[in-house]
Structure 1
Amino acid sequence: MASRRRKVIDVKKEEAAEQNGLIGNKIKKSKKKVEIKDGGSFIGRCCSKVKYLFLLILVPPFLNYASLQKEMTELQPAGEMYDIGWGQKLFMMCKGEGAPTVVLDAPTGMSSDVWTRIWPDIAKHTKVCIYDRAGVGFSERPSMNASRINETRSGQPFTVERMAADLNRLITSSSQQPRPFILVGAELGATVAQFYTQIFESDVSGLVLINPLSDVLFEQDEGLWAKYWFGQLIPTYQTLQLGAAIGLTRLALIVGVLKHPLSGSQMTQDIEYRQKHLLCHPKHLSSVVDEHHFINETFSQIKTAKLLKTIPSRISISIMTGNYYDEQMPSSLNKAWAKAEQQFISKHFPTAQHLVVNGADHHMLYKQPHSVVEVILKMVRQVKLRNKNTKSS
């Protein structure tokens, strides 16, 4: 009996042990499942984050590109695209009638929109044209295949020699505007106007130079402006170009972190939208960078042109400047700019009419336009009177 009881107890112990083993295995399996589930959720979270990061990187550039394609048609200003040869077209708009034709050339890296508050008043008295230099605004950049065309082309792209040659083809052979021309240029546009007059002097009867770039600007005050130009100004435009390429500029404009160059200047809504469009356009900003980058080559070319010959005395010249270059800039930069400008006037244009607009800086084109209009119309009247007297005699 005792042996039977022991056997029964042993059997029960074995059954209990088996049950405990099964329970242990179940617990182990459940733990493994939990571990697998936890591991799966971690991988899922990582994949989800990578997906969102991927979307953040790729979506803004694609949205910006799609918006640019739509805006190119909707925001293009009134005017025409003129073929100047070499597979390149430049934008120009002309209004008004009669001679002389006033041609307005914008400051460094800026589109023809800067003349919006000036050209309508000029058009009431004579013909006036605004245009965008190569690559800036709505004009095309120089063609990469231009070297294959068997026709020589003046100057390196984005230097004053090339700009003057482009302008000549634009207003003569491509569109045949009535001569003579009164060239009105601001900053780099003033340099183009001077170079054009040096090369094509028979076309020009008057020059209005607004805040002209001095070819000795970088030599003033131990190269203060050279350090600013190449150390701060160009890197800023390069950053804007990168921001436009990856779509961040458009986001910055939407949330109000970034403002376009003509903001706060009483421009129409179309121009506001167009300036924002250009600020989001990598090609436009690439040309802005190039105009600044090749400024030393431009200075070298204009110096050489002035050594070869002077501008004829028959051409009327007016120069407009403000009290400073930019009231938001450090006084040291404004003083260096003023010194360089004064040297420029006394050396190259000592007999020119020099008008200082009190309280103005380089924003005068769109913040104090009436002062600019008065000077231009005064020259228009002078040229018309001179042409009338020449015909009568």
Structure 2
Amino acid sequence: MDDVIARAMSALIPGGVTRGELGRGGRVLRWVEAGAGAPTVVLDAGSGTPGLTWAPVLSALAEHTRVIAYDRAGLGASDPAPHVTIDSEVDDLSALLSRRGNGPCILVGHSWGGMLAQLVAWSHPSLIAGLVLVDPAHEDFQPWTIRVAEAVLARLSVLWNAVGLADRSLREQAAREASKRSSDPRVQNLFVDAELACNAHDYQTRTSAAEGRLLGAHIRAVRRLRARSQLPDAPLIVLSAARGLPKGMRARWTALQAQIAAATVQGEHVVVPDADHYIHDSQPEAVTTAVLAVVDRIWGK
């Protein structure tokens, strides 16, 4: 298979990446991985976002340990699931950690991926060696203005795909993103192709829209889980963005993220200056530093 996503990621990493796969009842989860050693670091992206988003940090982390950039079902290179549910996403991620993690893993989750990381840590603590939550979603931060805006954008995306208007917009956005990855035109073209591949199928658009509705539809259930659950006694770093929302909203979200860190003895909360919600894109060194700090704590350095 001519895997444009893996080829793009390989262009940034000495020695390249390899493709990993896990069968899940007639469908396949896929990821790219690089590096060697333990513990394995598993990167889980935000809502509707493929593992390609972790390109800014993958190379630096792979210099120190094995790293997996994971595509959830229906995103990136992974096959779609029949239904997108919280349970299916938690089960898929838990299966990946259990069967391909080579022991307890450091789970790194951004936004919705950070919520999934907590759900997995609550239900399967033995799979977790450490956690890094990158501006994680929280069930008690669901402003109606943001939920309405996300719903409108999701429906517009589906509509644009249906009538054939999305391609030009996607290509322009992909070119902007590719210019951040490299100044080499060849590498930029690879990333444009990879971004387009992550938006080439209707099921990718549908999965993205479905994921955007999950937390809002299960706020009470997640609240109950948080109230009765504990994160494992493992190193935890929670990173908060410093910009990208009105001041009051950002303060509320940051306070909730601080509470996540305070809920465990080994928790640490860090506000990253000049970082927007995609901290791994705007300030990738902050994410790399946090992950490697958790690695060092696990090894007692």
Taking structure 2 as the reference length, what is the TM-score of the superposition? 0.85
Which is higher, the Rg of structure 1 or of structure 2? 1
Q: Shift of residue 284 of structure 1?
A: 1.0
Determine the structure 1 residue equivalent to 2:12: none
Q: Is the 8 A contact 1:160 1:195 kept in 2?
A: no
Q: Shift of residue 209 of structure 1?
A: 0.7
Letter in structure 2 aligned against 1:132? D
Q: Shift of residue 193 of structure 1?
A: 0.8
Letter in structure 2 aligned against 1:341? T
Distance 2:256 2:278 in 1: 22
Determine the structure 2 residue equivalent to 1:159: 85
Report the count of equivalent residues.
284
Match of 1:323, SS state, is: coil
Distance 1:129 1:171 in 2: 10
Distance 1:213 1:362 in 2: 10
Q: Deviations over 1:217-236 (max 9, x none)?
A: 12xxxxxx22321x221221
Q: Is the 8 A contact 1:103 1:128 kept in 2?
A: yes
Distance 1:200 1:112 in 2: 22
Match of 1:138, SS state, is: coil
Determine the structure 2 residue equivalent to 1:228: 146
List alignment gaps of at least 5 residues for structure 2. Answer: 7-16
Q: Shift of residue 275 of structure 1?
A: 1.3
Letter in structure 2 aligned against 1:228? I
Q: Is the 8 A contact 1:81 1:139 kept in 2?
A: no
Written as runs of structure 1 = structure 2, the 5 A alignment for 1:206-217 is 206-217=130-141
Taking structure 1 as the reference length, what is the TM-score of the superposition? 0.66
Greater helix proportion: 1
Q: Is the 8 A contact 1:122 1:128 kept in 2?
A: yes
**Do structure 1's residue 181 and structure 2's residue 105 form an aligned pair?**
yes
Q: Is the 8 A contact 2:261 2:269 kept in 1?
A: no
2:35 to 72, 76, 96: 96
Distance 1:210 1:319 in 2: 6
Q: Deviations over 1:107-149 (max 9, x none)?
A: 1111111111212111111111111111111111114xxxxxx
Higher mean C-alpha deviation, range 282-291 or range 293-302: 293-302
Letter in structure 1 aligned against 2:127? D
Determine the structure 2 residue equivalent to 1:355: 270
Written as runs of structure 1 = structure 2, the 5 A alignment for 1:278-289 is 278-289=198-209
Q: Shift of residue 273 of structure 1?
A: 2.2
**Do structure 1's residue 316 and structure 2's residue 235 form an aligned pair?**
yes
Determine the structure 2 residue equivalent to 1:117: 56
Match of 1:385, SS state, is: coil
**Do structure 1's residue 343 and structure 2's residue 262 form an aligned pair?**
no
Written as runs of structure 1 = structure 2, the 5 A alignment for 1:1-393 is 73=2, 75-77=4-6, 79-80=18-19, 82-143=21-82, 157-173=83-99, 176-218=100-142, 225-229=143-147, 231-253=148-170, 256=172, 262=177, 265-267=180-182, 268-269=187-188, 270-312=190-232, 314-324=233-243, 326=244, 331=246, 334-346=247-259, 349-350=262-263, 352-385=267-300
List alignment gaps of at least 5 residues for structure 1. Answer: 1-71, 144-156, 219-224, 387-393
Q: Residue 138 and residue 322 in structure 1: after superposition, are their counterparts in 2 closer, same or farther (change >3 A)? A: same
Match of 1:140, SS state, is: coil
